[in-house]
Structure 1
Amino acid sequence: MSMESPTRRMNLLSIAEMPLSHLHAQGRELDVQVGALDDDGNTILSPAGLLYSMKNLSRQEKDDFNETFFTEDIDAFQMVLHDYSMLQDTAKFEVLELTRHTISIPASRGAEPRISSCNKCGTSAHRCRAGLWLLDQIAGQVMGNTVEPLVMSAKGYAEELGDIFEAITDHDIDTLANGLQCNDTYRSWGPVPRRVQESREILASLHQTPVKMYRQDLYGPGDDDDDIVQQNDLEKTIFRMLLHNDQFFKYFLSVTKPDRCVNNPFRKLQHKAECIVAKYVARASDADTQSIGPEKSRHARWCAKSLKAVVKNIRVILTTDSEPLEDWLLDSAAEALIHILDKLVELNVGMNPNTPSGRDLNLFSWLMGEADSDFIVDILHGLIPKEILVLHEEKLLDIRDRLQGVPQSWYDKFCKLIDTDRRSRAPPKTPAKHKRGSDDDERSAKRAK
Structure 2
Amino acid sequence: MKKFIAALSILLVSTCVLAQEVKNNSIKDEDGDAPVLDAAYSLYGIAYSVSGVQSDYVYDVAHIRLHPGIKLSAGNVRGVFMFGIDQDFGRNGSSVTDSGADPGTGNFVVGVKRAYLEIFNMFLPGLTAAAGLDRYRFPLVADNDFALFRVSRYFDPVKITFNYIKINEYSQVEKDAANIEDHRDVDALAAEIHFKSGIFSLRPGFIFIIGGEQSATASDARIMNFSLGLAADLNSVYLSLNGSYMAGRTDSQTTASAFAIDAEAGVTLYGKVRTGGFCTYGSGDDGTGTDDNSYFYNMNNLFGSTSKKTGAPDGRLLLLENATVAESTATGNVFDVMDDSRGYMSAGLFIEAAFAKVKLSALCGVAYFATADGAGNSFIGSELDLGASYTVAYNTELFVEAALLFAADSAVGPAASYEPGNVAQITLGITTDL
Shorter-chain TM-score above 0.5: no
TM-score (ref. length: structure 1): 0.24
Would you tell me which structure has more helix in proportion to its own residues?
1
Q: Normalized per residue, which structure has more strand?
A: 2
**TM-score (normalizing by structure 2):** 0.25
